[in-house]
Amino acid sequence: MTLVAIRVAFAVLALLVIIVLAKKYQFNNKYLWPFIFLGLVNTAMPFALITWSEKYITSGLASILNSTSPLWTIALAPILLADEAITKQRLVGLLAGFFGVIVLMFNQLGTVKGAGLGVLAMLVATFFYACGAIFVRINKAKMPSEMQAFGQFLIATLFMFPVAAIFEAPLKIPVLPITWFALAFLGVLGSCIATLMYFSLIKSVGPTRALLVTYIFPLVGVILGAVFLDEKVGFTMILGGLLILAGIWVVNQGFRLPFVKAGGFAWKK
């Protein structure tokens, strides 16, 4: 909880600088509830759940499970968004990516014991991310991305510090410079900059396609594990990575599969 609180505080400070320099400040009372929703559902709760889950599961498995957000979105978006119908091409891409995730998960599951709670926490976190992505798309015309990000991280900060103070008392403030650097890295690059790019992507291509970037997480996790932890790069990593990249490409490109009719096929309400 303390880690998440400091991380989002760094994001708030970075976004405040951006807003002031870019003169993007814009606020009125109608933004308050969207800020609260995004701060809790799209930031505080998934951040906390993911961090907590890694007490019980490996970072590699966490990165794999984090890529399930598009599966939640593909189920929820057609119900809430008129322009997010389920097409054959989208399903093919999502299934290819999901199968790639399963391939990468195969070896991980055999090495993790007693990880049920951690896995459940990760899946709930990705469900929250899907809800947040759809909410951003629905409200895309109502606030600038800079203020949207600033509002959600400010609410998350105001929420997480009291929660950390209650559940992790007494708070342990980092003392090592490398720890502060890591927290600043997470807050500025992994939260502030990444969220601004992410919101822009949701508004331009929709939440389902935007969340496909999460299919990269397992591939990156495996590669970093090989580079920094001397983990072996086997056939499953290569196959899973290719399937993930193929899934992303199929969904995001204008390419039509031979058995998909022009315009696709959609199930609508």
- So what's the pLDDT on residue 268? 39
Biggest CA–CA distance in the chain, Å, is: 61
Q: pLDDT grade, residue 266 (50/70/90)?
A: very low
Instruction: Select from 70, 221, 199 the least CA-distant residue to 145.
Output: 199
pTM (whole model) above 0.85? no
pLDDT at residue 163 greater than cutoff 80: yes
Q: What is the pLDDT of residue 82?
A: 63
Tens digit of pLDDT for each residue in 85-143?
667 777 887 788 888 877 767 765 555 565 678 888 888 998 998 888 788 777 765 66
Q: Which residue has the tokens 């798309």?
A: 137
pLDDT per residue over 204-233, tens digit each?
Answer: 777 667 767 777 777 787 788 778 877 677
Name the residue ranges covered by the structural domains of the chain: 2-252
Here the contacts of 54-59 (C-beta below 8 Å, separation 24 or greater) are 54/118, 55/118, 56/114, 56/115, 56/117, 56/118, 56/121, 57/112, 57/115, 57/118, 57/119, 57/122, 58/108, 58/111, 58/112, 59/221, 59/225
pLDDT at 32: 82
